[in-house]
Amino acid sequence: MTSAVVKAAAATPPGETPTPLARVRDLGIRHDGATHPAPAAASFDVARGEVVLLLGPSGAGKSTLALALNGLIPHAVPATVEGSVLIDGLDTAVTPVAELSTHVGMVFQDPDAQLVTGTLLDEVAFGPENLRLPVDEVLARTEDALRRVGLWERRTENPDRLSGGGRQRLAIACALAMGSPLLVLDEPTANLDPQGIEEVYAALGELVAAGDRALVLVEHNLDAVVGITDRVVVLDHDGRTVADGTVDEVLRARADDLHAMGVWLPVSTLAALRLRDAGWALEPLPLDPAELRAALETVDAPASVA
């Protein structure tokens, strides 16, 4: 549990549950022309300072759900929506996207689709400027956001000079500068090389350590994200919530079920599942290479191998 979650809980009167930053209830979304909703009935909460990993097989509606968290669905993307999404108590179905943008920051797969200006400084300042904030506050937010992702020293450069990972870090800075307490990232490393992935998750790790943002992550590269995740929410093929718990409760304890469902798992966990099928007694299942190595060093090889 992150420090911010602990602080939020401590600030809540005894006997009362902290009000979640995001509350999704029985959310079903059917795009125009579609015959079935995806997601169909998603429900989960996101607490302040928490990192929630949203998983599910292809077609479950993860990216669609992400668009509903800041009101792009239904305000910009036509769709029939059932259930509800509340962000800081605001109903996204009736709250304008412009207002929701100060509560939810979005980072998509392709950072180039979000970049529009000629320098890193101008890019990050663009959002706060459109909020008509005082110049001093715009500059302060811009500097803070660029420093958080390690790009302040390159503020005068054109975004085109950045690597893929650098441009994605810039997109994260743009979201941070809006002051949004919730950051939603939809497969932010999908188009990046290993170095770019490392850069992005190093930046996200520092944000998590600061404890002042909640994150919802839709991600296939679980090896990079498991280390910063507080909770895992899983949608099934129909887009219904079938698991909601800690990394241990979901990824370790239900790895077989998730794999059969078509949900991505960490590479080390997949390797351990295959080794276990071959007779290796690997319990609990490892989630990263270090855990896999340690597990193999402490168990005896099956008779067929020995």
Classify strands 182-186 and 104-107 as parallel, antiparallel or unpaired: parallel
The dihedral sign for the CA sequence 139, 140, 144, 145: negative
Looking up tokens 């998603």, which residue turns up? 42
Supply the pLDDT for residue 305.
60
Q: Could you read off the pLDDT of 199-213 as tens digits, one per residue?
A: 888 888 888 888 878
Predicted confidence at residue 304, as pLDDT, reads 67
Range in 51-60, 93-102, 295-304 with the lowest mean pLDDT: 295-304
Summarised one tens digit per residue, pLDDT across range 76-133 is 998 999 999 999 999 999 999 999 999 999 998 888 888 889 999 999 999 999 999 9
* Per-residue pLDDT at 3 exceeds 70: no
Over the stretch 286-297, which tens digit does the pLDDT of each residue have? 999 999 999 998
Name the amino acid, one letter, at 160.
D
Q: How confident is the model at residue 4 (pLDDT cuts 50, 70, 90)?
A: very low
Say what the pLDDT of residue 13 is: 52
| Closest C-alpha to 155, from 170, 138, 136 | 170
At residue 9 the predicted structure's pLDDT band, cuts being 50, 70 and 90, is very low
The CATH H-level (homologous superfamily) assignment of domain 3-254 is: P-loop containing nucleotide triphosphate hydrolases (3.40.50.300)
pTM over 0.85: yes
Q: What ranges do the domains of the chain cover?
A: 3-254, 266-306
Q: How far apart are the first and last CA of the chain?
A: 41
pLDDT tens-digit series, residues 177-207: 999 999 999 999 888 888 888 888 888 888 8
DSSP string, 236-248: -TTSBEEEEE-HI
Give me the amino acid identity at 103: H
Structure tokens that stand for 298 in this block: 């402490």
